[in-house]
Structures are given as C-alpha cells and as structure tokens.
Amino acid sequence: MLEFKDIKVRLGKAVILNGACLSVKEGSVCVLLGRNGSGKSTLLDTVAGLVPYSGSIILDGQPLSSLSTGERAKKIVYLPQKLSDSSLKVTDLVKLGRFAEKGLLSSMSENDIEAVESAIRTMELKSKAHLPVSSLSGGERQRVYIAMVLASGAPYLLLDEPTTYLDIDAARSICSTIGTLSKELGKTVLTVFHDLSSAMSVADKICVLDSGIIVFEGTPDEFADSDVPQKVFGAVCTKYGGRYYFS
C-alpha cells in the first residue's frame, strides 16, 4: 500500500500540490490525470525523492522518509517521461535496472542475469536484445525502458506518461503491458497519463488533479459517470464496445 497524506509542494511562491491525499492498493494500477501544470508529475516526483514536500508518504506501513536511499531503491523505481536515446544494446540498458540498489561497480550475479533475461522475455524483446536501443521504434524503445525498471525487481513502479509520443498501436501495446505488470506480476503501478481513453483502459483507480488539488478519486466507471470529465477536461464520455471514448 502506498499512501499520500496531506502532501504539499511549493516551488518558490508557487503551490504545486496543496494537501494531496491518495491511497494506492498493492498490485493495482492508479492513473493520475490532469491538465498541464495540475501537479500530477510532481506527485510522482515526491515518491521518487526528487522534490521536497510536507505531509507524509507511507509505503507498506513505513514512512518513506525513514527509508535509506538503498531501501527506497529496492521498493520503488521511477521511469521519467523524457528519455534520451541510448546507443547501448537492449540487454546492456536493461542491465542498468539491476544497479539501482547494487551500485554501478557491482558485478552481475546469476540472479541478476536471470532478472534481466526475464524482463526481456516479459517485454517480448528477445529478438531485439542484441540491437542498439537507438535503432528501435518508439514503442520498442519504451518497452526496453520498462524492461529496465522491471529488471530492478522493485514492487512499486512510477511511470510518467509512458505512452507519450507513441502511435495508437504502440500506445495500446504499452497499456496492455502495464496491465500485465499489475495483474500477472503483482506490481503496483502509479502512472501519469495524458490520453483519457488510454487511462480508462488500464486503470484500477483514476485520480484527477486540478491546480494541485485532488478533485476526484475512484474507479474508471465512477469517473465516466461523474461530471469531472466535463468540468476538468471539457470532455464528454461515451462507452461503446466495452471501451470509453471522450469527445
């Protein structure tokens, strides 16, 4: 369980988050939605230890602030939105996920190698393992980076807009992958999405932020039936063929 209690973040005079409270169940996918500047990425940053905050974040019953950097790395891994192209081969980049808690000077054990190979298999990248990451398509590169965080073995994954810049098919594939990480591998995923329909396809819980305040927390069905899509995004939700569409 990941819990946010009265989280406040100020950057200079600007209030980015103002009393955010949220709980994320173990093994679930919680999607953060909001317009640009609403504070959704900043909420991820608080868990990742990238910004100072007041309030408390509780991880599996322990205050996050009480964990050392190494203890945090064993439990939480963060995949930011903006990723630079890498000339590393797929396998070598995925290996970096094992060094989050071990340190870059550590040698790879048999368990480390198995974790890397397992992540590559899970992300269906075995045929690409020998290729430079920079030679892959956008969707394939995103799968490599998700394999990297998966290889870490951390139970909590923070993903900041993992489908940004991807075409429709690649985005759907990534959404399916996120569902697999949660439902089949038991990972707890806290992720930011921009596209409302994609968010609805993968979320167990929807959390909407507006001007640093959480204005909605509930299931996708509850979100669709509420007035939040209209009030916050100016969108009308329609359900057809088991999927949600916004216009």
Check residue 110 and give its pLDDT.
86
The structure's pTM equals: 0.92
Confidence of residue 102 (pLDDT cuts 50, 70, 90): low
Whose CA is closest to 147, among 166, 164, 128, 134?
128
Is the pLDDT at 19 greater than 70, yes or no?
yes
* Residue 61 one-letter amino acid: G
Alpha helices in the chain (DSSP H): 40-48, 69-75, 90-95, 99-102, 110-122, 138-151, 168-183, 196-202, 220-225, 228-233
Give the model confidence (pLDDT) of 181-204 as tens digits: 999 999 999 999 988 988 999 999
Is the pLDDT at 104 greater than 60, yes or no?
no
Check residue 100 and give its pLDDT.
64
Whose CA is closest to 38, among 188, 151, 223, 193?
193
Give the model confidence (pLDDT) of 219-238 as tens digits: 999 999 999 999 999 988 88
* Residue 13 one-letter amino acid: K
Mean pLDDT of 26-44: 95
Check residue 101 and give its pLDDT.
56
Give the model confidence (pLDDT) of 120-177 as tens digits: 999 999 999 999 998 999 889 989 999 999 999 999 999 999 988 788 888 889 999 9
Give the model confidence (pLDDT) of 158-171 as tens digits: 999 998 878 888 88
Give the model confidence (pLDDT) of 37-91 as tens digits: 999 999 999 999 999 999 999 999 999 999 988 888 889 999 988 776 678 899 9
Is the pLDDT at 103 greater than 70, yes or no?
no
Check residue 164 and give its pLDDT.
81
Rounded to the nearest integer, the mean pLDDT of the chain is 90
Instruction: Count CB neighbours of 180 within 10 A.
Output: 13
